[in-house]
Amino acid sequence: MENSDTSETSYSLPSLLCQENEACFGEEEQDQYMNLDPCLFSQSEDEYIQSLVKRETKSTMSSDNRSITNQSWLKRARLDSIKWVLNTRAFFGFQYRTAYLCVAYFDLFLSRRSIDNERFWATGLLSVACLSLAAKMEELRVPNLSEFPVEGYYFDNKVIRRMELMVLETLEWKMLSITPFDFIPCFINKFCGESKSKELVSRTMELLLAITREVNLMDHRPSVIAAAAVLAAFDGQLTRKTMDCKMSVISLWGSRENEHIFSCYRLLQEIEMGKSKTPKQLISPNLSLSDNSSSIDVDESSFTSAVGSKRRLIYNDCDEVCQSAKICHR
């Protein structure tokens, strides 16, 4: 994704990522990636990584990248959603990977279904459902639906549940998305060897969340994003040539992927330098209030299937849905 029509943003990385205090700074999550049995990085490690790459090939690249980012309102809505997800992650103390997984669900959903123009409430609802689902996959404690701190809207529990089901169906219940986080331990080992450190791990995790704002996660393989993030966290000075040299320790990709890794790497370099090109005006403090109607009915007609020609998926029992599922502005 390119944001060429951009201005400088006030959202540099620190303000984006450091809203949690040190204590809840994913200490345990870092440890997960640090304290691994060295035996893991043996031959079976390579097999494991290869099996992951095989699976990601099957899952991510299949949908024909109907990038949501063509519609400007949706770009904005996506950034709003990500901001909300990152804040809510910090609020609940979720792992970084949970937030990332949520964004992956979000992007996958929107590659398969479209949302009618300017329905900011719908992307807001989608974020809540995706984060709730991601938490159910990853977290020890999953908050009650009513605990999710949505500003600007009130989503009834039933509405969120219905949205969860819609996401599950749209993603065909394949919630085991591979994320870059799955690759971190291995890549850190491969690229950084002895010099691995907790700081490196946390830096990588931060970059992974940061990049969700810049790219549609459907556009890149998780392993590509992971490699770029580890390299950027480890060494911000790589050239294409030195990077290729680094990459040669892993024979997972072809030259096209190396190209992608480098472009992600460059993107991360820019983020690192605080020059993220995300346009300032696209960031609003909470879920947008730009929809002015006072009450919105949730029915699937708002979520058009992106596949085929306007195949609309509509509840037969829409009446019932509409009665039970109201979204109201606060």
The one-character DSSP state at 312 is B
With CB under 8 A as the contact rule, the residue among 110, 160, 233, 298 that binds other proteins is: 160
Is 222 one of the binding residues for other proteins (CB under 8 A)?
A: no
Contact pattern from residue 6 through residue 35 relative to other proteins, giving x for each residue in contact according to CB under 8 A and a dash for the rest: --------------------------xx--
Q: Which is nearer to other proteins, 171 or 224 (CB)?
A: 171
Q: Which is nearer to other proteins, 158 or 277 (CB)?
A: 158
The one-character DSSP state at 295 is E
Phi and psi at 114, nearest 5°, equal: -110, 160
The continuous run of DSSP H or E covering 270 comes out as: helix 255-272
Is 40 one of the binding residues for other proteins (CB under 8 A)?
A: yes
Minimum CB separation of residue 197 from other proteins in Å reads: 17
Please state, in angstroms and rounded to a whole number, the distance separating the CA atoms of residues 134 and 179.
12
Is 5 one of the binding residues for other proteins (CB under 8 A)?
A: no
Q: Which is nearer to other proteins, 174 or 275 (CB)?
A: 174
Minimum CB separation of residue 153 from other proteins in Å reads: 17
Contact pattern from residue 176 through residue 195 relative to other proteins, giving x for each residue in contact according to CB under 8 A and a dash for the rest: x-x---x--x----------
Binders of other proteins in range 97-156 (CB under 8 A): 129, 132-133, 136-137, 140, 142, 144-146
Neighbour-count burial of 315, counting CB atoms closer than 10 A to its CB (0-12 exposed, 13-18 middle, 19+ buried)? middle
Neighbour-count burial of 289, counting CB atoms closer than 10 A to its CB (0-12 exposed, 13-18 middle, 19+ buried)? middle
CA nearest 220: which of 183, 168, 257, 269?
257
With CB under 8 A as the contact rule, the residue among 165, 249, 273, 307 that binds other proteins is: 165
Neighbour-count burial of 204, counting CB atoms closer than 10 A to its CB (0-12 exposed, 13-18 middle, 19+ buried)? buried
Number of residues that bind other proteins (CB under 8 A): 46
Q: Which is nearer to other proteins, 296 or 321 (CB)?
A: 321
255 strand-pairing partners? none
Encoded tokens for 16: 């984006």
Is 158 one of the binding residues for other proteins (CB under 8 A)?
A: yes
Q: What b-and-e string marks burial along 57-80, b requiring 16 or more CB atoms within 10 Å of the CB?
A: eebbeeeeeebbbebeebbbbbbb
Minimum CB separation of residue 47 from other proteins in Å reads: 5
With CB under 8 A as the contact rule, the residue among 45, 244, 257, 291 that binds other proteins is: 45
Cα–Cα–Cα angle for 123, 267, 254, rounded to 5 degrees:
100
Contact pattern from residue 300 through residue 319 relative to other proteins, giving x for each residue in contact according to CB under 8 A and a dash for the rest: -------------x-xxxxx
17 strand-pairing partners? none
Minimum CB separation of residue 315 from other proteins in Å reads: 5
Neighbour-count burial of 147, counting CB atoms closer than 10 A to its CB (0-12 exposed, 13-18 middle, 19+ buried)? exposed
Amino acid at 313: L
> Given the rule CB under 8 A, which residues bind other proteins?
32-33, 36-37, 39-40, 44-45, 47-48, 51, 129, 132-133, 136-137, 140, 142, 144-146, 157-158, 160-162, 164-165, 168-169, 172-176, 178, 182, 185, 313, 315-321
